[in-house]
A and B are shown apart, each in its own frame.
Chain A
């Protein structure tokens, strides 16, 4: 498996423009997470899905942010309109099993390479 695939790797846009980040999780993984990483705040969870259903979006900073998972192999994170303070690295991650399974031995979280977003 090629791992978690994110696109684009880099995105430079102007304030006010719409930005769409894409993620393809590892095949068969039930959980998909979107994280944002900045120097100031570290790694923050934005939203996560279980079987394509959004479970917790309390980390989404504003209504300008939205995420979808139309099928098991694809998710998008959209920012509209974008602002300079949205500049960060956005990571997508996926995992196979519920974290709470104490007997599982492969509950690891797998990350994509991230999208470096710069909003000018």
Chain B
């Protein structure tokens, strides 16, 4: 059974810092991995999707990388802003299943 772990569980940084969020998964036979953002009291919004054949994806200040062999993905946020404050979740879709498995998320606070 696929298990997804996100470290750290919570993070508080000053505005302007570059930061890295980590996601690890136990079964490396994945089809793709997706990063989401969740604001308090809201649903999840897709940020980036990485296919299993890809190594990274970029969108603005966000960069997500994927290392299937080691079962890891990182989300890099450049020049963090208070508006980046939210919970970030990763989800993997494993071989033989159409079911996305989610991590518990990293709660990020960027203070001015």
Contact = CB atoms under 8 A, between A and B. Distances in A.
A109 B100 contact: yes
Contact of A56 (B93, B99, B104): B99
Interface residues of B, number: 25
A35 B101 CA distance: 11
A42 B104 contact: yes
B42 interface: yes
B52 interface: yes
Contacts of B91: 109
B contacts with A: majority SS: strand
A113 B43 contact: yes
A98 interface: yes
Interface of B: 31-32, 34, 36, 41-46, 49, 51-53, 89, 91, 93, 98-105
19 contacts: A31-B98, A33-B100, A43-B102, A45-B100, A48-B99, A93-B44, A99-B32, A99-B98, A99-B100, A100-B93, A100-B98, A102-B31, A102-B53, A107-B49, A109-B46, A111-B36, A111-B43, A113-B42, A114-B43
